[in-house]
Amino acid sequence: MLLLLALCLGLPLCAESLEEAQRWGDTSEQVGLRVPRQLRLLQRLKTKPLMTEFSVKSTIISRYAFTTVSCRMLNRGSEDQEIEFLMQIPAAAFITNFTTLIGDKVYQGEITEKEKKNGDKVKEKRNKTTEDNGEKGTETFRASVLIPSKDKAAFFLSYEELLQRRLGKYEHVISVRPQQLVGRLTVEVNVLESSGITLLEVLPLRNSRQKGSGRAEDDTGPPPSTVINQNETFAKVIFKPSVVQQARIAQNGILGDFIIRYDVNREQSIGDIQVLNDYFVHYFAPKDLPPLPKNVVFVLDSSASMVGTKLRQTKDALFTILHDLRPQDHFNIIGFSNRIKVWKDHLVSVTPNNIRDGKVYIHHMSPTGGTDINGALQRGIQLLNNYVAHNDIEDRSVSLIIFLTDGKPTVGETHTLKILNNTKEAARGQVCIFTIGIGNDVDFKLLEKLSLENCGLTRRVHEEEDAGSQLIGFYDEIRTPLLSDIRIDYPPSLVEQATRTLFPNYFNGSEIIIAGKLVDKKMDRLHVQVTASNSKKFVILKTDVPLGPQKAGNDVTGSARPKGDSEEDPNHLERLWSYLTVKELLSSWLQSDDEQEKERLRQKAQTLAVSSRFLTPFTSLKLKESSLQMSKLEDSHGVSAATGPGTVMQSLQGSSAQPGSALKKPYNPKIKVSKTSADGDPHFVVDFPLSKLTVCFNIDGQPGDILRLVSDHAGSGVTVNGALIGAPAPPNGHKKQRTYFRVITILVNKPERSYLEITPHRVILDGGDRLVLPCNQSMVVGSRGLEVSVSANANVTVTIQGTTAFVILIHLYKKPAPYQRDHLGFYISNSKGLSGNCHGLLGQFLNQDASLAEEPAGLSRNTTSSPFPKAAEGSDTVLQLKGHRVPVVWKQRKIYNGEEQIDCWFARNAAQLLDGEYKDYLAAHPFDSDTVFGLGVARGL
């Protein structure tokens, strides 16, 4: 799931090293304490908390990222210890849940309204959480708990964010800084984009700014141990370094930022519009447009505090930026301290001589005096207004101020509110101000409001070696304006509560995102119109977007946030709309000076944030102790990337069942298995009981493919998909590779939504509750008409409403050969509950019958009772099925772990048996319930 790091304070040694060191320490003690300093150090290290696991799982669906961080700690000391959990998260993200396990006690997080007087800090001694500013673009989440001696604790943190497109790419940053070597360290990111992924790259670990950070031996590509699997619409990235690999990067366990960048396919000039369950999102990012001319004034702080590296790096960056100006642009330069120093009394065109003279002027700037922010801004805006007013400009252009400072106003007007009012009144919405704050002493809130109120952006730049490149990178985001005065309209009778629809500028490589609610459910089309200015012309774009049918089955986020008893399943578009709406309300509240208006905005933002479970300045996070005893479930580790840890804990509490009632006494049932199955390489078997025929065929898929086995979402609400894993073929075989099912996923949509993810080692049941069941223990779980029975290391039986049953066989190898993988087999035990329209590789045959068109002499019609004579193996026999005539031959095949042998008619060419083509049976993601036969890959989410 995206992804960030948790800073859990602990010992920078792995468990094995500590045990070895302790054994050595005990021996030294017996021979007279010859090395007391080392022993004292070992004794201190022994009592430090040990991190046993650190994992981050992030799922990005249409640019919206759901991220879960989990960290497990062990107090090895003889006394109770307070342990602190720290986690850097993106500044734009909202925390949605935090849960702590201490021993067998659960402390569940709850997002509530913040009381104005008391603030949002939790006052309980055992559990407290706070937030403060962290590194650039991040905030630090902190939580401290008291762990009893020899006991353990686990932390689960969930957050969500909308990824912003910059320089043509989305960037997802996960902070991985456990501060010690971890036995199990995993980062997993899943990217699902229905419009198609056009670019995906994993960057080298970005070094931490903190002391002790390391650098990998190979710093030119993805970090060591990174595995990337990708198809047209889905990508999975896993970073799982061993302890040795972690030590090579950083001996003390501090790693850095794990970064993924990607972009999506864009075909329509009006953008990509997605609709799901009465919500829509419009992604607008046009390309191949001529750039608009820029009128830009660079306003640079040259006060005494800029002395040294800050001013030198600023100058170097501006030299590069000046060379990047286009011939149609116009520019000027202002340096300010306690005096305002203007290079020219008007804007000048971009010529080689002007660029050279501008560089000379910047070069001779020297730091001195105070900081007159108000005067510098007023002079810059005046230059731009005069240029536009007194020049006959045929082309439409964009007026910008790039304002850079490292301090607070100390000269001239120093009152923040007056500076903001003066600037807004002078700019009149015609000048966009982009602010850059350098260092820690800057008044960042002032710069943020200056940009918010004047159609700009703001960035914080730290005093470090790459400050110059950060300045250039920020300029690159705004160097190419393509459109101005953008307005996006939807029919007011059809759309309500749309987010912002007016935008002053659109810069190349960025993206405009609008979300809203649909109110007229009878409408089958959504009319969209975009108007904007581009160079010498006025641009109008129109389109009609089909609205139906909207399929809730596409919601792979499942219960990404805990649901109340009366809530429907949320979807990612609803979450995205809530996220954008809260962000815009917070921005409006920050800009407003009217107390009544601010209170109205605060209450509106607070109400939506509480219902969406977003931690904001107007909400607080409180921890409440649950009476649930964790039993064995706490030991099952790992959280599905499709859901967050909030639902893990919510399910453990149980919304409808009493604590502990979900698990019954283990038992090992005798499973009745039909022949209709997909197992092994995989081999498919279909049983036709009416004609007493059994047909078999093989599918040679590709590793990473997700096959549709049963598709009955519109009928019974049941979908079964299987994900393939690859292995080398056995020696001397005709195949180049083998494939096996590594994951079976089952989506049950009626009467309520439930998700099942089954691997050879665990079962994740995610519905109103969420359970993670190990496959090495026998147990039965029942919930909402769904029963899951696990027979230890043998099979998993899933029964739906008592009328549909599937058996998933678990194939494990103690010492696997190179061509063997732990895998699953899928068997349909009862299909009565599936509808007549059921489809999929197996589902399409369930309501059909087959017959033999011609049979060799002497063959019994009952092909399941006696083997076919060897003399007839080469005979031509034709099977009639669903209008197909398929040549078949006689075969014997073993199923159910080789315990049962069947006779079947084998179709060498499986494509002749199936509807459509192989690609029609490829799912876009594990819980994809769409089925498109004959039209290519499944669509939608």
pTM above 0.95, yes or no: no
Number of domains present in the structure of the chain? 4
Burial class of residue 714 in the structure, from the number of CB atoms within 10 Å of its CB (0-12 exposed, 13-18 middle, 19+ buried): middle
Token pair in block for residue 637: 């580790």
The proportion of the chain whose per-residue pLDDT surpasses 70, expressed as a percent, equals: 78
712 and 813 share a domain? yes
- The residue among 82, 85, 9, 76 whose CA lies nearest residue 44 is 76
Average pLDDT over residues 80-86: 84
622 contacts 122 by C-beta, under 8 angstroms: yes
pLDDT at 627: 52
Of 800 and 135, the one with more pLDDT: 800
Whether 508 is covered by a domain: the verdict is: yes
- Which range among 53-57, 270-274, 895-899 has the greatest average pLDDT? 53-57
The CATH code of the domain that includes 438 is 3.40.50.410
User: How does pLDDT run across 758-781, given as a tens digit for each residue?
Assistant: 999 999 888 766 777 888 887 777
Q: What is the pLDDT of residue 854?
A: 64
Instruction: Identify the domain boundary among 531, 546, 561.
Output: 546
454 shares its domain with 529: no
The mean pLDDT value for 419-426 works out to 93
Q: Determine contact, residues 180/12, Cβ cutoff 8 Å.
A: yes
912 or 656: which leads in pLDDT: 912
Which residues are within 8 A (CB) of 734 and not within 5 positions of it... i.e. 6 or more apart? none
The reported pLDDT for the residue numbered 535 is 65
Q: Are residues 327 and 407 in the same domain?
A: yes
Q: Which two tokens stand for residue 748?
A: 């049950």
Helices of type H across 428-485:
444-453, 467-478
Max mean pLDDT range (163-177, 633-647, 841-855) = 163-177
- Domain final residue pick, 546, 579, 594: 546
Confidence of residue 68 (pLDDT cuts 50, 70, 90): very high
Using alpha carbons only, how large is the chain's radius of gyration in Å?
32
Judge whether 471 and 402 are in contact, CB under 8 Å: no
The pLDDT value recorded for residue 885 is 87
- Of all residues in the chain, the percent with pLDDT exceeding 90 is 30
Residue 214 has pLDDT above 70, yes or no: no
- Statement to judge: residues 169 and 231 lie in one domain: yes
The answer as to whether 776 is a domain residue is yes
Which pLDDT score is estimated for 931? 63
Closest C-alpha among 615, 671, 612, 598 to residue 825:
671
| The Cα angle at residue 394 between residues 390 and 400, in degrees rounded to 5 | 65
Q: Give the per-residue pLDDT at 809.
A: 92
85 and 170, same domain (yes or no): yes
* Averaged confidence pLDDT in the chain: 78
CATH of the domain at 251: 2.60.40
Distance CA 848, CA 167 (A): 54
Residue 219: per-residue pLDDT: 57
Closest CA to 479 of 300, 377, 328: 328
Query: Would you say residue 178 lies in a domain?
Result: yes
Domain ranges, residue 725: 677-855+875-921
| Same domain flag for 52 and 180 | yes
User: Could you report the per-residue pLDDT of 315-369, keeping only the tens digit for each?
Assistant: 888 888 898 899 989 999 999 999 999 999 999 999 999 999 999 999 999 888 8
Let me know whether 819 and 694 are in one domain: yes
CA atoms within 13 A on the CB side of 634: 21
Specify the higher pLDDT residue, 10 or 175.
175
Same domain, 917 and 801: yes
pLDDT above 60 (res 42): no
pLDDT > 60? residue 399: yes
Do 310 and 380 fall into the same domain?
yes
Q: Is residue 573 part of a domain?
A: no
What is the average pLDDT across 108-131? 55
Quote the pLDDT of residue 255: 78
Q: Does residue 91 sit in the same domain as residue 137?
A: yes
Same domain, 370 and 430: yes
pLDDT digits (tens, 9 = 90+) for 157-204: 999 999 999 989 999 999 998 888 888 999 999 999 988 998 899 998
Residues 492, 465: one domain?
Answer: no
pLDDT tier at 872 (50, 70, 90 boundaries)?
A: very low
Closest CA to 347 of 401, 394, 291, 386: 386
Cα separation, 174 vs 736, in Å, equals 37
Closest by alpha carbon to 935, among 906, 911, 915, 910?
915
Arithmetic mean of pLDDT, 737-766: 89
211 DSSP 8-state letter: T
pLDDT given at position 418: 93
Rounded distance between C-alpha atoms, residue 863 and residue 851, angstroms: 11
Contact present, 83 and 145 (Cβ < 8 Å): yes
